[in-house]
Amino acid sequence: MSAIDLRVRLGERRWRHVISRSLIYLAFAVITVVMLYPFYYMALNAFRSLDQYYTGHGFSITSWRNLFNALPVGRQLLNSTIITLGAIALILVVSTTGGYAFAVLRYRASRLVFLVVVAAMMVPMQSIIAPEYVNFANLGFINHRYGAILVYAALGAPFSTFLMTTYFRRIPEDVIEAALIDGLGYGRIFFLIMLPLALPAIFTIAVLQFIQVWDDLLIGLLFLQTPDVRPITVGLATIPSQHLLDVPLLMAGSLISALPAVIVYLIFQRYLMTGLTMGISK
């Protein structure tokens, strides 16, 4: 092959590389615009009155005043925070201890129990809502925040336990054996060694469950029907009928409801990616 032919082939490869990367960046740009435009639309129209919304220009905080007059926004945000943090706390307790048991404390029928936990991930949420509602109604848990916390914890525990089991299994067994030789029991190994090593997975579960619970509507709509215990998503869904056509008010409510989940994701996104990818190779 001559030097000219080699340069031509290298040039063709370079152009193919440039074109392929340009197409990838173009696709990313299109996806970014599609994903961010709803937030731009919400933020733009949340600071307009209804008349300004129809005319398409001008800004005002009228929609925010109407929102706080139509809903107890502060109380509903507090309800969402309590429910979300309570559910995450229960999920983390169950998933870390369960994952540690499945990964380290091998016992008879542990694989069968783990398969049952994995199978629970495949059960659609809608198929268990009716029996859960009946059971909680019989126990008197309807219209109480702790009832919703228990439901969210039960729905989020299977996946979280699976993720923690996978993460704990990637930790070398030599670490556990060395700790046992040094005189540590399995309980102290869990608190002193395993939990600090599993912080990326714990952050991953916390972020995923925060987004899931905070943005959920169905559970709150069914199990929290009185205004004093409603989360913000249910409050927006049950907004008084006279405001249903007030688009700026709805955009203001949607923005204040979506911002916490977005902020949590942006803060912990590096932990999220690390926790989801670690443990795959083992």
DSSP 216-256: --HHHHHH--SGGG--HHHHHHT--GGGTT-HHHHHHHHHH
181 — pLDDT class (breaks 50, 70, 90): confident
Q: Do 129 and 211 share a structural domain? A: yes
281 — pLDDT class (breaks 50, 70, 90): very low
CA atoms 46, 50, 52, 54: torsion sign? positive
Average pLDDT taken over every residue of the chain: 86
- 8-17, 125-134, 153-162, 228-237: lowest mean pLDDT where? 8-17
pLDDT at 62 over 70: yes
* Structural domains counted in the chain: 2
Q: Do 91 and 14 share a structural domain? A: no
Q: Do 42 and 160 share a structural domain? A: no
DSSP 152: H
Three-class SS state of 280: coil
Answer whether 249's CB lies under 8 Å from 70's CB: yes
Q: Do 222 and 90 share a structural domain? A: yes
Q: Do 95 and 30 share a structural domain? A: no
243 assigned to some structural domain? yes
Q: Do 151 and 14 share a structural domain? A: no
pTM of the entire predicted model: 0.85
Q: What is the pLDDT of residues 238-248, one digit of tens each?
A: 887 656 678 89
Say what the pLDDT of residue 207 is.
92
- Of 62, 233, 1, nearest to 53 (Cα)? 62
Could you tell me the residue range of the domain that residue 22 belongs to?
3-46
